[in-house]
Amino acid sequence: MTVAAAARQWPADGLKRVPYWVYSDRDLYEAEQERIFHGPTWNFLCLEAELPGPNTYRRSNLGEMSVVVARDKDGAIRAFENRCAHRGSLLCLHERGEAKEIVCVYHNWTYDLAGNLTGVAFRRGLGGKGGMPPDAKPEAHGPRKLRVENLAGLLFGTLSADTPPLDDYLGAEIVARIRRVMRAPAKLLGGYSQMLPNNWKLYMENVKDSYHASLLHAFFTTFRLNRLSQKGGVVINESGGGHISYSMAADVAGKEYEQAGMRSAHDDFHLEAPELLKSVDEFGDGVGLQILGVFPGFVLQQIRNSLAVRRVVPQGLEKTELVWTCFGFTTDDEALAELRLRQANLIGPAGYISMEDGAATGFVQRSARSAPDALSVVEMGGHGTASEDNRVTEAAVRGFWKDYRRHMGL
C-alpha cells in the first residue's frame, strides 16, 4: 500500500478520480457506519404504508444497525435502535408485525412502541431477595431513538441531532420530484431482496450513473425505454448527495446507438408479447423514467408505471442487501395494478434491466480489490456536479463523492 492510501488521501484530481481502496478498505467501512449511517444523514426506513395502523412495526436499518420503525397506539411514527437496554440483545426478531409492546426474549424486559423501557422482570426481586438496587437506572441505557420525518409517505430517520430538516437536506427540486411520484396514498405490491456481491457505494454509484443505463441494459435501449438521445437530464442538489435522472417517454427514433455499433442496441430483437411494455402516462408530464437517489442509500424509482423504493443495506465490506419494495396507489384500478405487476418484469433480481446492475457492480468489486491504489475515471461531462440537460455525464456520481468526502472528512 502506498503512503497516500495508508493516510487515505483523496487524489489531487478531485471528484473526477475515485481511488479503488474506497471499496476495499476495512477501516473505512467501519468509519462509514459511524460517520455516515449514524451521522448527520437521513436514511430511508420504510413506506408509511408498511405501518398500516396503530401498534404496528417494521424492522429497518441505519447502515448495519438494526432499527425498529413503529406506529404507536396514538398513531405517531417512532423509530429506535433494535437493542435491549439490559444486555444488548435484539429486541424485535420479526420483520414486521402488530404488538402493543415489544418484549425482549432474553430476560423479558418490555418496551412501548416508542422505544421506552416500560418493565424490568423481577426488578424488585422475589420475597425481598435479589432484584435491582432502588437507585439503578436501566432506562438510561435504553435504545437510542431516531428523529423521524415523513415526506409524502416515505419515512426517513436519523440518529444525529445535527442533521438538517429533511426538506433542507434534500433541496426543493428533490422534494418536488418525490412528491411528483407519491401522488396518492401508497399501496404495497410486495418486495424482495437482491444480495449484491459488492460494497454498498458501488451500487449507489450505479444508481447515479446516468451514462451506463442505456449502454449496459440492452432492454432499455432496444425498446427505447431509455436512450441517451431521448430528452432528459440530471438534477443534482447542493450537497451532491441527492439526484434525479429522468427521460421523456417520447420515442425520438434516432439511430445513434445502431450507427455507433453499441452492443445494447439490437435491431433484430423483438418481443413476441409486447404487452409487457404497455404503459400509461399516469403522471401526465410525459416523463417515462425517473430515478431518484438520496445519500447515503435510498432510491425512488419510476420506470414507466413500475414504482419502487430501494433501500441499500451494507452487510459487510463486500456484501450489500438491496431491499426492494414495490407499490402502487390505493386509487389504482385493476388495469393499472396489472400494468405495474407486468412491468415489474423489468426490475428486481430477475428484472430484464435490474439483474444486470447486480452483475456489473460485482465485476468492479472483484477487479478493484486487487488494485486499491489505482483510480477510476469519472470524467464524462467534465469534473463538476452541476445539473445538466443531458445524461451523457457522470455528474451525479461525482455528486455522490462530493457528499461522501464531506461526511468522511476525506
Q: Which residue number, 249 or 355, has a Cβ lying nearer to another protein?
A: 355
| Residue of the chain from 7, 253, 273, 335 that contacts another protein (CB under 8 A) | 273
CB of 352 to another protein, least distance (A): 6
One-character DSSP codes across 365-400: HHHHTT-TT-EEE--TT-S----BSSSS--HHHHHH
CA pair distance 42, 30, nearest whole angstrom:
19
| 321 is a contact residue toward another protein (CB under 8 A) | yes
Chain positions 188 to 247 lying near another protein, rule: CB under 8 A, are 188-197, 216, 218-219, 222
CA pair distance 91, 135, nearest whole angstrom:
25
CB of 310 to another protein, least distance (A): 14
Q: Which residue number, 166 or 353, has a Cβ lying nearer to another protein?
A: 353
Span of 121-129, 267-275, 294-302, 396-404 interacting with another protein by CB under 8 A: 267-275
CB of 348 to another protein, least distance (A): 5
CB of 32 to another protein, least distance (A): 22
Q: Which residue number, 185 or 191, has a Cβ lying nearer to another protein?
A: 191
Q: Which residue number, 7 or 273, has a Cβ lying nearer to another protein?
A: 273
Nearest CA to 181 out of 297, 278, 306, 60 is that of 306
CB of 213 to another protein, least distance (A): 13
CA pair distance 295, 242, nearest whole angstrom:
6
Cβ atoms 400, 205 nearer than 8 A? yes
CB-based contacts of 75, cutoff 8 Å, min separation 6: 54
Cβ atoms 214, 206 nearer than 8 A? no
Give the count of residues interacting with another protein (CB under 8 A).
Answer: 39
CA pair distance 151, 47, nearest whole angstrom:
10
| 272 is a contact residue toward another protein (CB under 8 A) | yes
CB of 388 to another protein, least distance (A): 27
Task: Identify any residues that bridge with 119 across adjacent strands, giving them in sequence order.
Answer: 110
- Write the interaction track for another protein spanning residues 329-368; mark x where CB under 8 A is met and - where it is not: --------x---xx-xx--xxxxx--xx-xxx-x------
Q: Beta 154-158 vs 186-196: how paired, if at all? A: unpaired
CB of 237 to another protein, least distance (A): 31
Q: Which residue number, 65 or 276, has a Cβ lying nearer to another protein?
A: 276
| 48 is a contact residue toward another protein (CB under 8 A) | no
> Phi-psi region for residue 125, left (φ > 0), alpha (ψ -120 to 50) or beta?
left
CA distances from 21 to 2, 24, 37, 373, 396 (A): 11, 5, 19, 6, 20
Chain positions 295 to 314 lying near another protein, rule: CB under 8 A, are none
Q: Which residue number, 2 or 331, has a Cβ lying nearer to another protein?
A: 331
CA pair distance 56, 100, nearest whole angstrom:
8
C-alpha cell at 355: 439483474
Residues found near another protein in the complex (CB under 8 A): 95, 188-197, 216, 218-219, 222, 266, 269, 271-273, 276, 321, 326, 337, 341-342, 344-345, 348-352, 355-356, 358-360, 362
